[in-house]
Amino acid sequence: MDRRSLIKHAGIAGVLGAGIAPAVHAQAAVRWRLASSFPKSLDTLFGSAELFSKTVSALSGGKFEISVHGAGELMPAFGVVDGVQNGTVEIAQTAGYYFSGKSPIFALGCAVPFGLTTRQMDSWMIHGNGRKLMDAFYANYNIKSRSSGNTGTQMGGWYRKEIKTVADLKGLKMRMGGGVFGETMARLGVVSQSLPGGEIYQALEKGTLDAAEWVGPYDDEKLGLNKVAPYYYYPGWWEGSTELDFYINTKAWAALSAENKAIVEAATDVAARDTIAKYDAVNPPALKRLVAAKTQLRSFSKELMDAGFKTSMGVYAELEAKSPEFKKIYQDMRAFQRDQLLWERFSEFRYSSYMATVKV
């Protein structure tokens, strides 16, 4: 195995521990700026960008440095696609569905109602057609993508009142990520609001919002959402997982040496794996703390989820009719998901369902 292949497939610890760091001394120094859509206070989401930057620096022996900037520092949280497309920054970290106003296809690489789980998304992106199809679309925006990690299945958000039936959604002012989910909820009567994470607490506190979804127990606790909305619902059927991405300007990418490209790929793999592992570690104790602090944990009714499913399928059908490109990617994702669901009936789902019923 040559050095470049080793860098790509090994983690930072393995590469450095083996004493075979890449030969970077002859390479010119590279300096990039990274604009994140997430606030620095979130050590999960923003932390992924920081780990990526540190890994790039370590693997390059300090020859390749990436400064990391939180939401609003270099540009607004929702301005990062324009920033990368125009070359204002070389790289961004974000959630694709924020940019569904440009095209609903952005959401397919991130999260859509009743979409892929984390493992399914990883498999589709890496060993299916996911990354190839999404990068062909992103090329229209001068973007190449790499995973920044995944949140896992998200919670259904915080509400100032109980949501027992579909009728309770009518007129509800709710912050949500956007994309197909926003259109689905609008048809169920919700008034959709698009806000960066750092602005959610104040909007809930002032009553500008009646409800908000963010990620899950750990991040939601950090934002203090339990202090301004008592009801916490699950599951987030609109985000069976949420794939976060690094968006890289295609010209900046093309200008990198083969060695530095391998370093970026290895560093994104390190950051992506760490993100989901961290969420799985920190969410359980955070949920316990929230419940102990009098959070009212509630599950969405089957009636509401059935309504969400039916409405979502109607939105998808309309989007497919309007856009052959959306249809191509969406149908590929669904075909992949059907095989995954079949397999999980005999593996993960059956095992996890049993383990949830016994005391360990």
pLDDT digits (tens, 9 = 90+) for 135-162: 999 999 999 999 999 999 999 999 999 9
User: What mean pLDDT do residues 155-174 have?
Assistant: 97
- Domain-embedded: residue 123: yes
Q: Which pLDDT band, with edges at 50, 70 and 90, does 20 fall under?
A: very low
- Domain-embedded: residue 133: yes
Predicted model pTM: 0.90
- Domain-embedded: residue 181: no
Domain count, the chain: 1
| pLDDT tens, residue by residue, 44-55 | 999 999 999 999
- Domain-embedded: residue 11: yes
Residue 95: pLDDT above 60? yes
- Domain-embedded: residue 83: yes
How distant, in Å, are the alpha carbons of 51, 141, 176 from that of 98? Answer: 23, 15, 9
Structural domain boundaries enclosing 103 = 3-150+240-280
- Domain-embedded: residue 28: yes
What per-residue string of b and e applies to 262-298 under the rule 16 or more CB within 10 Å gives b?
bbbebbbbbbbbbbbebbeebbeebbeebeeeebeeb
Please state the φ and ψ torsions of residue 212, each to the nearest 5 degrees: -155, 140
How distant, in Å, are the alpha carbons of 19, 95, 262, 292 from that of 2? Answer: 14, 34, 12, 53
Q: Which pLDDT band, with edges at 50, 70 and 90, does 56 fall under?
A: very high
| pLDDT tens, residue by residue, 329-348 | 999 999 999 999 999 999 99
Q: Which pLDDT band, with edges at 50, 70 and 90, does 18 fall under?
A: very low
- Domain-embedded: residue 211: no
> Do residues 212 and 225 make contact, with C-beta atoms less than 8 angstroms apart?
yes
User: What mean pLDDT do residues 206-230 have?
Assistant: 97
> Do residues 213 and 97 make contact, with C-beta atoms less than 8 angstroms apart?
no
How distant, in Å, are the alpha carbons of 69, 240, 336, 339 from that of 351? Answer: 42, 19, 21, 18
pLDDT value of residue 177: 77
Q: Which pLDDT band, with edges at 50, 70 and 90, does 236 fall under?
A: very high
pLDDT value of residue 17: 47
How distant, in Å, are the alpha carbons of 88, 137, 300, 317 from that of 103? Answer: 21, 10, 29, 16
Q: Which pLDDT band, with edges at 50, 70 and 90, does 6 fall under?
A: very low
Q: Among 13-27, 78-92, 192-206, 308-322, where is mean pLDDT lowest?
A: 13-27
User: What mean pLDDT do residues 118-147 have?
Assistant: 98
Residue 12: pLDDT above 90? no
State the average pLDDT for the chain: 93
7: domain CATH number is: 3.40.190.170
Q: CA 335, CA 333: separation in Å to the nearest integer?
A: 6
Q: Which pLDDT band, with edges at 50, 70 and 90, does 179 fall under?
A: confident
Residue 63: pLDDT above 90? yes
